[in-house]
Each structure stands twice: as structure tokens, then as C-alpha cells.
Homo-oligomer: A and B are copies of this chain.
Amino acid sequence: MEKVREIVREGRRVGKEDPRRVVHAFKVGLALALVSSFYYYQPLYDNFGVNAMWAVMTVVVVFEFSVGATLGKGINRAVATLVAGGLGIGAHHLASLSGPTIEPILLAIFVFVQAALSTFVRFFPRVKARYDYGILIFILTFSLISVSGFREDEILDLAHKRLSTVIMGGVSCVLISIFVCPVWAGQDLHSLIASNLDTLSHFLQEFVEEYFEATDDGDIKEVEKRRKNLERYKSVLNSKSNEETLANFARWEPRHGQFRFRHPWQQYLAVAALLRQCTYRIDALNSYLKSDFQIPMDIKKKLEESLRRMSSESGKSLKEMSISLKKMTKSSSADIHVLNSQCACKTLSTLLKSGILNDVEPLQLISLTTTVSLLIDIVNLTEKISESVHELASAARFKNKMKPTASLKKSDSVSIGRAAVPIKSHDSDDHVVTILCDADVSNTVDQSRGETSVDSCHHVAIKIDDDDLVHEKHEVGEIHAHSCVSCDPSDVLDSSNKRISSSN
């Protein structure tokens, strides 16, 4: 009884996790009930006889969760049945010419050679990814037809009936799968990447809050809950095989929604790979957050502002990417945050150069600088991710909401105050985004707390106008290219940039 209740609970959980699973179960039931009518409906049965069972079998085996998987299997099965049927008949004909004694021996040899060769080909990585099922069916059909043909005379008729029932079963699957609450693997992959971006963004935005929070602040349960919430990023660590499977399925899918037939699914995998690389750094960062060896808050505070901005601006840029991916629009709003985070990097490095940490105890220094270093890595990876998302947007021809003409000018105007306030405004003509960006504060910085002083900053003007005509050009990347110039990145940034790029 307890067991049954547990199963029901598990069932509810599984259904709640993705309600489409329940719908899928009903769809399979429907398809099977439909196809089994072949047996009840006299004219059909008269036509196909026992072969109607191939339709049932096809439905059971071919009907998968997503349209792509179903289509892939269906097409694999149909083509493999056709080809193997033809070859099987050929083999049977060839064998029958040789007389009744040699015939079974010849057939056995054919079956052996065909099975061995096909099985070996299944090990080819590219074949395995897309045509594994087709080759399985090829072996099956060839063996059945060439061998059973030894007994049955009407072999052509058999092959014909088998093929038509397989196609009927397959077509029912595909139709039901496409027209009754379809589950698109492509859409799933798209959402998965967007949600992964979101997850990492969440971590980066929350991380600093946790890092600069006094460790012994009352409610332990609350802290535990927040930390657990932070660790949602762990799902990204091992998402590779899932993503690859989805991408493989997605390739079979026809145009749906805003996804074309040849949507650049491979580019999603490229973004995902960078995201995973970023997650490795985040995993290391998280281990420092949880360390019992905490650095005194007053030492952390020295770098607080820069670290806060690096982390939260990277987080924001990932968030913007996630949003623009979800909306399927090209957008440069993420770039501004990338820029900001890079500027914060720059500020940090000048701060460090100024010797702000000279009086810190070595062991605390190690822990602190490792956090810094990992965050710099993450900032640079964020830029890579942003570039990759732009490439995806171009390749997938996302709508072009804003087309910045990327007239980045390095002015020499000096402004007071450290905080860079990106002034964003969407959906209107001719924006000018002004980014206040610290540079070369090494000598002016306040040694004691790194608080405000007069910084030399640069105005970065980004002229944006809504011109949808030229949307194939990779405009946003240009801002990028200049962003480094405008921020005058330090050795740290430069070197880590190169380091990251070469590690891809």
C-alpha cells in the first residue's frame, strides 16, 4: 500500500515536472487505438492481413516524445524498410537461381555479411548520431525478407504490404505528433539554452550578495535556502548529452514557429559549450563561497564595488542575452553590460596595482585573489558568450529590433563619480548610450577603502537607429571590437582574454 502511494506520488511529480508527458501518453494511446482499427475494419484487414501488425509495431517503436525524434525514427524506418526490402528481394532472387541445395547456404552468407557490415557501420559516430535506428531496421528487414522469402512465394507482395503498413503506422505517428499538442525538440533546445543563460545570470547576480553578506547573520535556514537556490547552476554542468540529443532531433523537424527547417542548431551547441566552460569557473567560485575559511569583511570591502559590478554586470548581460534569445530578437543591450563588467575589471586591476591589498595576510590574499581571478575569467567568458549569441542571432536571422551603427568614439571628457550608468532606451530612433568608464585610476585612488575620487572616464557613444534592412551584418560585434579600446583594458584583461580564447 505504501509502495502504491509512493508510485502515485512519483507519478504526480513526473507529471508536474513536465505536463506534456501526460499529453504524450494520451497521444500514444490514441495512435495505437487508431492503428489497431486496421484489424477491426474488414476492408483494411482483407488487404493487409497479418501484416497489419507492422503498423502497430511501427507506432509503438517510432512514436517518441518530440516531433523531431518521431520524424527521425519514422523516416529512418521507412527508408530503411524500402532499401532493405529491395536488397532483400534481390538477394532472394540471386540465391534462388543457384538451386535448392546452395540456396540456404547463400542466403545465410548474405545475411551474415549484411549484418556484420551494417553492425560495424553503426559504430561510425556520425552514423550513430542520426541513422542508428535506420540501420537497425535495415538489418531486420533484410534478414526477414531474404530469409522468409525462402518459404513464401509471393515475396514482392510481402515486401509491398510490409512497406505500406510501416508507412501507414509511421504517418499516423507523425501526424498525431505534429498536430496534437506538438513537442518540438528545437523549441526545447532553444528554451534550455535560454534557461541556462538565466541560471548562470541568477548565480552571478546573487553571488556577490552572498559573498559580501556577514556570515553570522541569524536565520541559518534562510541562508541554506538561498545557497541551495544558488546551486541551480549545477544542472548546467552535465547538460551536454541532453543538448546534443535535442540538436540531433531538432534537425529532423520542419519549420515551426520562428524556427526554420535549417535553423542553426549547431550554433546552440557552441553557445552551450561556452556556458559550460563558464559554469566550471562558477563551480570553483561557489566552493569559495561555501568555504569555512572566510576573509574578514573589512578586507573584502576594499574590493567590494568592483567585484559587485563585475559579477552583477556579467549577470545582467547574461540575463539580457537570455531575454533576447527568448524573444528571438537581435539586441545589443547585453553588450552594454559586458562593457560595464569589463570596465569594472579595469578599475579593479588599477585598484590592485595601487597596492590596496599590500597589508593583507597571505592566506587571506590567496582566497581573495582567486575569487578575483575567477570573476575575471567569467567576465571574459561572458564576452565570448555574448559574441556566440550574436553569431547565433545572425545565423538564425532573429528579428533586428535595434541596429546600432557602432560609432564608438573615444572622447576625452572627464567625469566625476565611479558608477557607470548605462542609459538604455529601447525601441526608439537614434539612441545615444553613454557609458562612464573608469580608466587609469591607479594614482588617484583612495588607498584606505578604494572609495570615490576623481576618475578619468571615457564617453562611449553608441549611435543606434532602427534600420531593419541590413540585418545579416554582424553589427553588434563591432561595438565589441571597440569596447576594448574604449575601456583601455589592462594586462590582466588582455591576457585573460587571450587565455580564454585560446582555451576554446
- A binding-site residues for B, Cβ under 8 Å: 10-11, 14-15, 21-22, 24-26, 28-30, 32-33, 36-37, 39-40, 45, 50, 53, 56-57, 60-61, 104, 107-109, 111-117, 119-121, 123-125, 136, 139-140, 143-144, 147-148, 150-151, 237-238, 240-241, 277, 280-281, 283-284, 286-288, 290-293, 349, 352-353, 355, 357-358, 361-363, 365-367, 369-370, 372-374, 376-377, 490-492, 494-496, 498-500, 502-503
Given A33-B111, A39-B150: A287 and B500 within 8 A (CB)? Answer: yes
Is the CB–CB distance between A60 and B139 below 8 Å? yes
A107 to B40, CA, bound (A): 10
Given that A40-B150, A56-B143, A148-B53 are known contacts, is A286 also in contact with B503, CB under 8 Å in the complex?
A: yes
Which residues on B sit within 8 Å (CB–CB) of A286? 503
Q: Is the CB of B499 within 8 A of A112?
A: no
Q: What is the CB-to-nearest-CB distance from A243 to chain B, in angstroms, rounded to a whole number?
A: 11
With contacts A151-B39, A355-B362 taken as known, whether A119 is within 8 angstroms of B28 at the C-beta atoms is yes
B residues within 8 A CB of A139? 28, 32, 60
- Establish whether residues A499 and B288, one from each chain, have CB atoms under 8 Å apart when the complex forms: yes
A366 near B369 (CB under 8 angstroms)?
Answer: yes
Using A29-B115, A40-B104 as known contacts, say yes or no to A366 and B373 having CB atoms under 8 A apart: yes
Which residues on B sit within 8 Å (CB–CB) of A24?
119-120
A365 touches B370 (CB 8 A): no
Cβ-defined contact, B363 with A370, below 8 A: no
Tell whether, in the assembled complex, residue A140 and residue B363 are in contact, meaning their CB atoms are under 8 Å apart: no
B60 & A290 in contact (Cβ 8 Å cutoff):
no
Closest to A126 in B: B10
Whose C-beta in chain B lies nearest to the C-beta of A56?
A: B143
Contact A116 B496 (CB under 8 A): no
Cβ-defined contact, B29 with A112, below 8 A? yes
- In the bound assembly, the distance between CA atoms of A162 and B139 in angstroms comes to 20
Q: How many angstroms between the C-alpha atoms of A354 and B280 in the bound complex?
A: 32
Q: Is the CB of B284 within 8 A of A377?
A: yes
Q: Per a CB cutoff under 8 Å, which of B108, B115, B241 touches A28?
A: B115
- Give the Cβ gap from A7 to chain B, nearest Cβ, in Å: 8
* Contact status A33-B112, CB under 8 Å: yes
Please name the residue on chain B nearest to A49 by beta carbon: B151
Pairs A–B under 8 Å by Cβ, sample size 12: A10-B124, A25-B115, A33-B109, A36-B143, A39-B150, A56-B144, A61-B136, A287-B500, A292-B498, A352-B365, A369-B369, A370-B370
A374 contact set on B, CB distance < 8 A: 284, 370
Residues in B whose Cβ lies below 8 Å from that of A39: 147-148, 150-151
Given A139-B32, A369-B370, A372-B366, A25 and B120 contact (CB-CB distance below 8 Å): yes
Contact between B293 and A499 (Cβ–Cβ < 8 Å)?
Answer: yes
Instruction: Tell me whether A28 and B370 are in contact in the complex, defined as CB-CB below 8 angstroms, given that A287-B503, A500-B287 are known contacts.
Output: no
Report B-chain residues with C-beta under 8 Å of the C-beta of A366. Answer: 352, 369, 372-373, 376, 492
Q: Which among A104, A115, A353 has the greatest number of chain B C-beta atoms within 10 A?
A: A115
Residues in B neighbouring A352, C-beta threshold 8 A: 362-363, 365-366
Taking the nearest CB of chain B, how far is it from the CB of A20, in angstroms?
10
Distance of A200 from chain B, by nearest CB (Å) = 15
Chain B nearest CB from A205 CB (Å) reads 20
B490 touches A363 (CB 8 A): yes
Besides the known contacts A277-B283, A290-B502, 13 further A-B residue pairs in the complex with CB atoms under 8 A apart: A29-B113, A32-B112, A37-B108, A40-B108, A60-B143, A280-B284, A281-B284, A288-B499, A290-B499, A358-B358, A363-B490, A363-B492, A365-B365
Q: Cβ of A284: which chain B residues have Cβ within 8 Å of it?
A: 280-281, 284, 374, 377
A245 CB → nearest B CB, Å? 10
Once A33-B112, A499-B288 are accepted as A-B contacts, the answer to whether A117 and B25 lie under 8 Å apart by CB is yes
Are the C-beta atoms of A56 and B140 separated by less than 8 Å?
Answer: yes
Whether B494 pairs with A293 at a CB distance below 8 angstroms is yes
